[in-house]
């Protein structure tokens, strides 16, 4: 797993590319998707409690890993805390449930999925109190070895700064929406300065047919020039900056194509052109309103 990985501050080495599993459900679909991904070279699987697929992923891995002569130690598993489970004790219970669902003794990475709490208004100060309590639970689970690395998702710089002021164990990872239509340069700089690995989701835009990012004329131009797909260009743009990516697909050819991004480079001029496409477009969630 040494090649194309990043060393996390408190934990193991983490593959720069992982398989995203958001909206991928059904035992047969997950089994075939994981088998194709692992055969293609993926060694990182990203899930979450709210995806409602942890049990099927755990069962599928038990079947697929021996078939491919792989062990649990060969793969990196990430899951995330649901917003409804924020707070002291609730976070710990939720994490242990994820461990049980995934049929594993430890998680390589566990994230607080959202800075807010389900059922609480975005501007309620309890959001801050409860997410800090959740972090304390994660610190204890980390010390116990049940989580090898801990981090957050959808946190803005102010949320991270607050966490850094109160934590004992600093976060390893920030998982956030990031792509050429939403270039979060300042947040990336903050994470780099604080040794927090910056991992992007929604690197390919939306999953709808009207995908403006994949159809962007500049992305298509660069893809044609390189003889690659627009998806490969978007993923390479991130990886080339040391940013992790989590492409998701159930299409076997797309799964294989998405990991084939390490054998080419985008030149400086085209990297700049992609950076200049930013227009503040959130295709998923926007956490700016969470206090």
| Per-residue pLDDT tens digits for 63-97 | 999 999 999 999 999 999 999 999 999 999 999 99
Residue 100 lies in a domain: yes
Residue 171 lies in a domain: yes
pTM for the complete prediction?
A: 0.96
Residues 6 or more apart in contact with residue 149 via CB below 8 angstroms: 8, 9, 10, 11, 12, 14, 108, 109, 110, 142, 172, 173
Residue 104 lies in a domain: yes
Binding site members for substrate? 113
Domain CATH for 184 = 3.20.20.100
Residue 127 burial (CB count, 10 A): 21
For residue 1, the model assigns a pLDDT of: 44
User: In this structure, what DSSP letter does residue 125 have?
Assistant: T
Residue 178 burial (CB count, 10 A): 25
Decide: 48 and 113 in contact? Cβ < 8 Å.
yes
Radius of gyration of the chain measured on its C-alpha atoms:
18
- Sequence length of the chain is 291
Binding site members? 113
Q: Average of pLDDT values for 231-254?
A: 97
User: In this structure, what DSSP letter does residue 120 have?
Assistant: S
Percent with pLDDT over 90 in the chain: 94
Distance in angstroms (rounded) separating the CA atoms of residues 143 and 176: 25
Residue 233 lies in a domain: no
Coil, helix or strand for 80?
strand
Helices and strands of the chain, counted as H and E runs = 10, 10
Name all contacts of 237-240 with Cβ < 8 Å and 24+ positions apart.
Answer: 237/180, 237/266, 237/271, 237/274, 238/178, 238/179, 238/200, 238/203, 239/4, 239/16, 239/17, 240/265, 240/266, 240/271
Residues spanned by the domain of 69:
13-207+241-249
- Per-residue pLDDT tens for 105-164? 999 999 999 999 999 999 999 999 999 999 999 999 999 999 999 999 999 999 999 999
Domain count, the chain: 1
Catalytic residue at 283?
no
Rounded to 5 degrees, what are φ and ψ at 119? 90, -5
Residue 130 lies in a domain: yes
Q: Average of pLDDT values for 238-254?
A: 97
For residue 285, pLDDT beyond 90 = no
Residue 42 lies in a domain: yes
For residue 162, the Cα-to-chain-centroid distance in whole angstroms is: 21
Among 18-22, 127-131, 183-187, 279-283, the minimum mean pLDDT is found in 279-283
Distance in angstroms (rounded) separating the CA atoms of residues 66 and 70: 6
Q: Which of 22, 42, 51, 106 is catalytic?
A: 51
Distance in angstroms (rounded) separating the CA atoms of residues 52 and 88: 22
For residue 3, the model assigns a pLDDT of: 64
Residue 29 lies in a domain: yes
Residue 229 lies in a domain: no
């Amino acid at each position: 797993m040494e090649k194309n990985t990043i060393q996390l501050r408190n934990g193991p080495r983490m593959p720069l590319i992982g398989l995203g599993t958001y909206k991928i459900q059904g035992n047969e679909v997950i089994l075939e998707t994981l088998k194709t991904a692992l055969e293609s070279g993926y060694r990182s699987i990203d899930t979450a409690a709210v995806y409602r697929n942890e049990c099927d992923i755990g069962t599928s891995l038990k079947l697929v890993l021996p078939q491919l002569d792989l062990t649990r130690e060969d793969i990196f598993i990430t899951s995330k805390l649901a917003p409804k489970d924020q707070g002291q004790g609730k976070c710990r219970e939720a994490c242990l449930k994820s461990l049980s669902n995934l049929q594993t003794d430890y998680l390589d990475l566990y994230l607080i999925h959202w800075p807010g709490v389900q059922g609480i208004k975005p501007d309620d100060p309890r959001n801050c109190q409860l997410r800090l309590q959740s972090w304390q639970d994660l610190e204890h689970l980390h010390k116990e070895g049940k989580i090898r690395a801990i981090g957050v998702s959808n946190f803005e710089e102010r949320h991270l700064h607050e966490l850094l002021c109160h934590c004992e164990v600093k976060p390893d990872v920030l998982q956030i929406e990031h792509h050429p239509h939403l270039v979060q340069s300042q947040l990336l700089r903050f994470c780099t300065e604080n040794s927090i690995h910056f991992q992007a989701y929604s690197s390919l835009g939306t999953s709808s047919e009207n995908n403006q990012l994949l159809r962007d004329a500049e992305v298509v131009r660069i893809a044609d020039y390189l003889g690659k797909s627009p998806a490969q260009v978007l993923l390479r743009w991130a990886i080339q900056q040391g940013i992790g990516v989590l492409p998701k697909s159930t299409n076997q050819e797309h799964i294989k194509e998405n990991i084939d991004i390490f054998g080419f480079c985008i030149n400086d001029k085209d990297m700049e052109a992609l950076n200049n496409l930013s227009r503040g477009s959130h295709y998923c969630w926007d956490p700016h309103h969470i206090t």
